A and B are shown apart, each in its own frame.
Chain A
Amino acid sequence: MKNRVGELREERGWTKVDLGDRLGVSRQTIHAIETERYDPSLPLAMAIAKLFGKAVEDIFGDDAIGKNKKR
């Protein structure tokens, strides 16, 4: 699934390890989500959204990417 995790992480100047530590997951998991090889579970997606201060649908899915491009 397309997502903005990498973009939001880079905006904050965090490494994959930083983000992983904040979420309690490994760097490998962050990499897999950012490269769209793995779709996170609902609890993890919600934790990501909470951490970035956004709604889940603003981060995950084609709509999130589309919305961001329009801005």
Chain B
Amino acid sequence: MNEKGGLLRKWNKRYLFEYLVALILLLGTSALCIRAAQAAAARKMLLMIPPVIAVLLMAIVILRHYRRIDEFLRREMSQSLAVAAAFTYLWATCYGVCEIAGFPRISIWWVWGSMTVVMNLWLFGKGVFRR
């Protein structure tokens, strides 16, 4: 038997550990890239590879978590992903039109941030993890 908290806690702990390792790798390699921004073109391209590997690692961590969790949690996660994708698609398209009208250009990183925030807000709002 598992201790208090059950399987979800165990899955979440494993997921958070793997995700944090990948995130630290991404932040570290991204910092390297920013430093290399003034370097020669060929070297610059080489230094762009590590963050891409780190992002790939993060995607693998998320997929591993998705396969590990049970059918109900998988359904809830899929729903939250659909809501996050729809919300992000909506504002990104609207803002894209606004940019044509002269609004300042924003980074593509906003899309990633929006997806993550909306997904988690949806899951916590529904109280999936509280029950």
Please state if B2 and A17 are interface contacts (CB–CB under 8 Å): yes
Least distance between B128 CB and chain A CB atoms (Å): 6
* A40 to B109 Cα, complex, angstroms: 37
Q: How many residues of A contact B (CB 8 A)?
A: 18
Least distance between B46 CB and chain A CB atoms (Å): 44
Q: Which secondary structure dominates chain A's binding surface?
A: helix
* A17 to B128 Cα, complex, angstroms: 15
The interface size bin for chain B is 10 to 19
For chain B residues 102-124, which have a beta carbon within 8 Å of chain A? none
Measured CB to CB, the residues of B under 8 A from A are 1-2, 4-8, 11, 69-73, 75, 128-129, 131
Measured CB to CB, the residues of A under 8 A from B are 16-18, 20-21, 24-29, 31-33, 38, 40-41, 44
